[in-house]
Amino acid sequence: MEAIHLKTVDPVSQNLFRSAAKHGVRLLWERYERLQPQDGFLRLGLSCPYGCMQGPCRIDPFGRGSEQGLCGLDRDGMVAAFLLRLCLHGVLETMNERGAGDTLSEKSWPHGLTKRFSKALKHLGNKPLSLREIDRSALLLQRPSESAEVLVEQALRLGILTLLLSERKAPSRKTQKRFDCQVGYGLLSEEKIFIGVAGQPAQKAIESLVRETSRGSASPYRILSLGDWIQTEKGFLPFACSSGEAELLLSTGSIHLLLAGPKTDPSLSELCKQMEIPVVMSEKMVPVKEILSLARHHFSTHSQHKTISEPSFIGQSSVAMTIEELKPLLKKRSIKKVALIGGSDTPQQPMGWLPVELATALLGRNYLVAGWGDAVLWMIKNGLASEDRESRAIPLDEQQSPILALKGLSDARRIGYLRGICFTGLKTCRDLTVALGLAGLGMDVCVASPLPLWGSEKVRNLLSERFADVGGTMTHYDHPANPEEILEWFLR
């Protein structure tokens, strides 16, 4: 308990954590501690990623054990292939979300960034980019057949491909200049029946639920996101918490039903089962009336602990969804430096620590700060994105980030003001692939979570050389980076 501040920077979350511990509820942090030390081979990229049944082969990082795999694969080939494997997952995740589309021609490239994409591809084999990159990568990962140089180049081509695919709008998405956004436990201070939504349920399902529960001014229901960015006709669902705090919130018993969409972590459903909170899987197409009845039944049959009663624990802001919305903010005369900060919660660091510390320090130095993901939820929650502030962080649409900001900066002729793009935490392979793609596009990128590249100096050098060809850099650390290190990087 004495290390509670190492789990989250939010004092309310710290209280909830104490209460969960008192009731014997096991949460993410406990699992994280029990998992230590996590697989050192994988963390360094020295666990063979090929589709091969002769393994698994691992290479000893200290040179005291095996130096090659059974087939003779060395550490450089293994780390490079591991990187390519992660990037292949990253591009597939993006295709799954945005669709493959039918063209990747130059005409479809992000407005204002065409020259950068063109230059990047020139330095990455000088071949046109197509969805065939995916087949080629899968073939390269069947058995070792190519050098580390080829694998690294292919990983970076997938990074660029992921950025281009990210540019596509998800089929169900509506376009609007900005959406209001609320974040914080204070949303639970009213006497309501709360339905928590996690993962990515189909937009139609969410919209019918929201429509049904917003009829009349005195609806007894409130629909809240448990950290995922879930868009409805009118905006994003209000966020009760960031994604890393979802279990903590469920452990309070304040949520009366969990609507779980695809990509919901299994731990959330498991915790609901333990706490007898009803769970509805969104793909099961359960009628709205039935969902509401389940939530109402739980509410009326379980004692309501009022763990969160302070309505002021809510941060508000608006999320920029288009370049038109962003451009005037970027064009302010006083702005000469821009920092982009985004990423997911991770138990490697106290949750909220990096985004809050960094945004506070950079706003204080007259940087324009824009952010996405959990990182910006923490900024909103802490009032750093409040529109009442003279200098505030700008939340960006999660799905288009950070490309939306690059397009806005380019359109406003302010791209030269960009001091760097920082990923405060990585969750999916897509995050890593986007980070690589951005550095491959000539941006300065910093990743706070350790990457599985420390098993090969050659691969790290190859990446640095490729990024340098187009004026980009990627800074990463062999430990979870602290705010001082990243601040130093921004102020370099």
What is the contact surface with ligand SF4 in residues (CB under 6 A)?
48, 50, 52, 54-57, 69-71, 73, 143-144
Q: Which residues contact 145 (CB under 8 A, 6 or more apart)?
A: none
DSSP letters of 216-230?
STT-SEEEEESSS--
State the minimum distance, in angstroms, from the CB of residue 173 to ligand SF4: 41
Residues 286, 279: contact at Cβ < 8 Å? Answer: no
Residues 162, 429: contact at Cβ < 8 Å? Answer: no
Please, which residue, 52 or 329, has the CB nearer to ligand SF4? 52
Three-state SS at 118? helix
For residues 228 and 262, give the distance between their C-alpha atoms in angstroms, rounded to a whole number.
Answer: 11
The DSSP H or E segment spanning 474 is strand 473-476
The DSSP H or E segment spanning 355 is helix 353-364
What is the number of alpha carbons within 13 Å of residue 152 lying toward its C-beta?
23
For residues 410 and 64, give the distance between their C-alpha atoms in angstroms, rounded to a whole number.
Answer: 50
State the minimum distance, in angstroms, from the CB of residue 52 to ligand SF4: 3
State the minimum distance, in angstroms, from the CB of residue 43 to ligand SF4: 18
Please, which residue, 48 or 441, has the CB nearer to ligand SF4? 48
State the minimum distance, in angstroms, from the CB of residue 83 to ligand SF4: 15
Please, which residue, 67 or 276, has the CB nearer to ligand SF4? 67
Please, which residue, 73 or 340, has the CB nearer to ligand SF4? 73
For residues 335 and 60, give the distance between their C-alpha atoms in angstroms, rounded to a whole number.
Answer: 49
State the minimum distance, in angstroms, from the CB of residue 67 to ligand SF4: 11
For residues 210 and 195, give the distance between their C-alpha atoms in angstroms, rounded to a whole number.
Answer: 10
Residues 60, 66: contact at Cβ < 8 Å? Answer: yes
The residue number whose beta carbon is nearest to ligand SF4 equals 69
Please, which residue, 3 or 53, has the CB nearer to ligand SF4? 53
Position 245, amino acid: E
Measuring CA to CA, which residue among 403, 472, 392 is closest to residue 165? 403
State the minimum distance, in angstroms, from the CB of residue 75 to ligand SF4: 11
Three-state SS at 337? strand
Please, which residue, 59 or 224, has the CB nearer to ligand SF4? 59
Please, which residue, 48 or 152, has the CB nearer to ligand SF4? 48
State the minimum distance, in angstroms, from the CB of residue 94 to ligand SF4: 27
State the minimum distance, in angstroms, from the CB of residue 61 to ligand SF4: 15
Residues 422, 341: contact at Cβ < 8 Å? Answer: yes
Both tokens of 421, joined, read 């793009």
Please, which residue, 155 or 446, has the CB nearer to ligand SF4? 155
